[in-house]
Amino acid sequence: MRILLTGRNGQVGWELERKLAPLGEVIATDRATLDLAEPDAIRRAVREAKPQIIVNAAAYTAVDQAESEPELAMQINGSAPGVLAEEAKRLGALLVHYSTDYVFDGEKATPYLEDDPPNPINVYGKTKLEGERAIQAVGCRHLILRASWVYSLRKANFLLTVIRLARRNARVRIVVDQVGTPTSAGLVAQATVWALGSSSVSEGLFHAAARGMASRHAFATEVVERLGLTCTVEPARTSEFSLPAQRPASSALAPDRLEHSLGVEMPVWREDLMGCLLPVLEGRAALPA
């Protein structure tokens, strides 16, 4: 089996390249070898690879910067998935694509289900929703996996930001009025492998997230405590920070549909976090400077 993977250097892409290897030949690309802002480059890459599965882990993920670069964000997050879908349909291939909790407006107090109506409140969320709809409109075989608050020990993400701040400061202020489902990149990649290996998950939209809800403050507090850092995590309000993009207040995702389809139980976010931090706790990985 040939698998074309985009975004190999991203958080989820890095995990996928390793976890997909047992399933077949993985042709992994990064932005230097496949720029998703170039439709002709996408078509050329797919036609050269002739994959049975296309896994699109590449995305424009700079939430605040997207407010000033809406066209580029839309090209990568909204238009490129449609082109990939067209090529997948031409080949009869399966397209796996990743979306986000930011397709929701954050007005729901409980975790979002796949059937809840999306209503993004920032450019990033709007472009990711457009990508979902472009794939569905083409009608290729597809799996769309929404993830929430993705983190890892690689690249730039909220986990590493918390660790850096906590190591440099006696006190840090973290917002308490943004709630989501922190989910490791490793868990998103593992859920993908489970789905690809399952006869009960053929295609559709699923929430690939850990279980439970946490504020950013609660997540940061858990990180500091698990790592034994001496920093005090103080609660703050989103209104205290001036950011270009509005964030949904509560965008946790419920993974029930994926769990039922796969016959697995996703870990609670605290368990997932511990799995991610284990290499650091066991001395196999270093904390960021």
pTM assigned to the model: 0.97
Q: What percent of the chain has pLDDT over 90?
A: 95
CATH topology of domain 2-155+183-212+251-267: Rossmann fold (3.40.50)
Band the pLDDT of 99: cuts 50, 70, 90.
very high
120-132 b/e (C-beta count within 10 Å ≥ 16 → b): bbbbbbbbbbbbb
Is 124 catalytic? The answer is yes
Phi-psi region of 237 (alpha: psi -120 to 50; beta: other; left: phi over 0): beta
The answer for residues whose C-beta is within 8 angstroms of residue 278's C-beta and 6 or more apart is none
Mean pLDDT to the nearest integer, 181-203: 91
Q: What percent of the chain has pLDDT over 70?
A: 100
The answer for residues whose C-beta is within 8 angstroms of residue 115's C-beta and 6 or more apart is none
Q: Summarize pLDDT for 26-43 with one digit per residue, the tens.
A: 999 999 999 999 999 999
Q: What is the pLDDT of residue 77?
A: 98
Question: Which among 252, 250, 185, 175 has a CA at the least distance from the CA of 220?
Answer: 175
Is the pLDDT confidence value at 25 over 90?
yes
Neighbours of 66 (CB within 10 A): 24
Q: Determine the residue type at 63.
A: V
**Rounded CA gap, 102 and 84, in Å?**
22
Is the pLDDT confidence value at 45 over 80?
yes
Q: What is the pLDDT of residue 286?
A: 85
Q: What is the pLDDT of residue 139?
A: 95
Is the pLDDT confidence value at 196 over 80?
yes
Q: What is the pLDDT of residue 171?
A: 98
Asked if 141 and 86 count as a contact pair (C-beta separation under 8 A), the reply is no
Asked if 29 and 54 count as a contact pair (C-beta separation under 8 A), the reply is no
Choose the catalytic residue: 98, 102, 112, 124: 124
Is the pLDDT confidence value at 86 over 90?
yes
Is the pLDDT confidence value at 198 over 90?
no
What integer best gives the mean pLDDT of the chain?
96
H helices within 233-268, ranges in order? 256-262
Mean pLDDT to the nearest integer, 241-266: 96
Q: What is the pLDDT of residue 199?
A: 75
Helices 216-227 and 158-168 cross at an angle (nearest 10°) of 60
